[in-house]
Amino acid sequence: MDLKGKTAIVTGGGTGIGAATVKRLACAGANVVINYRSSADAAEEVANACRDMGVEAMTVQGDISKDDDCKKVAQAALDKWGGIAALLNNAGTTRFVPHEDLDGLQMDDFQDLYATNVVGAYQMTRAVVPAMKAAGEGRIVNTSSIAGIMGNGSSLAYSASKGALNALTLGLARVLAPEITVNAVCPALVESDWLRDFSSEHAQKVKDSYEAIVPMGRICTSDDIADSIMYLMTTPAPVTGELMVIDAGVRLGPRSPLARRE
């Protein structure tokens, strides 16, 4: 799909993978709705960067776990530009709880994560589908995680929510074809905001230990994931229902001890 002059919505678009994708969309000539829940300043900074590229951009506050907010975000795009061509369901949340700590998670934790990571993506999709169907085309990408495939990640509730998002991706891809494609990206560890939330020393240890074992020898960045999202949004190939893993090869296991170290 050629996105020039068309409209894209990115939830959680003020930071990390969302912000990187917004800028890629702007480079492709798309007008962008940047949804945020609490990062107003960051979202506006990203919007200004898009305007500097010669496209239009707006920020819309909203909690995508609330259906009315999802409708508000979609309507803002329609009111401004009259259509919606692409959606990145990127907004997400987590809890950091060791998997072996079964008492560390309660029902509320699961419900909170599912409300945003799964139900929010469903509600945003539902909000944009009529406009995409009317236009005869649309591209939807969900930001999932390798945790939804491997059962690892920041907590069992998180990995379960991303597994549910993967299943939702497949189901939506089936029922929304052929006009609308629905795919997901499933990153492993990404050098983004949550990693920087740790102390610099601990974050560096996490990064170093990861890069020491993964076959590609480096951590993924938000830009890496944004590039993959843009492929799914723009490719003319008939790709739908794809769970694209971007993990520097972590699923392959530790790289050979004989591998060359730089």
The residues assigned a catalytic role are 158
Q: Are strands 86-89 and 138-143 parallel, antiparallel or unpaired?
A: parallel
Cis peptide preceding 130, ω within 30 of 0: no
Sign of CA dihedral 125, 67, 150, 216: positive
Query: In terms of DSSP H, where are the helices of the chain?
Result: 16-27, 40-52, 67-81, 107-114, 121-135, 147-150, 156-176, 193-196, 200-213, 222-234
DSSP 257: T
Tell me the one-letter amino acid at 173.
A
Residue 227 neighbours by CB distance under 10 Å:
15
CB of 111 within 8 A of CB of 65? no
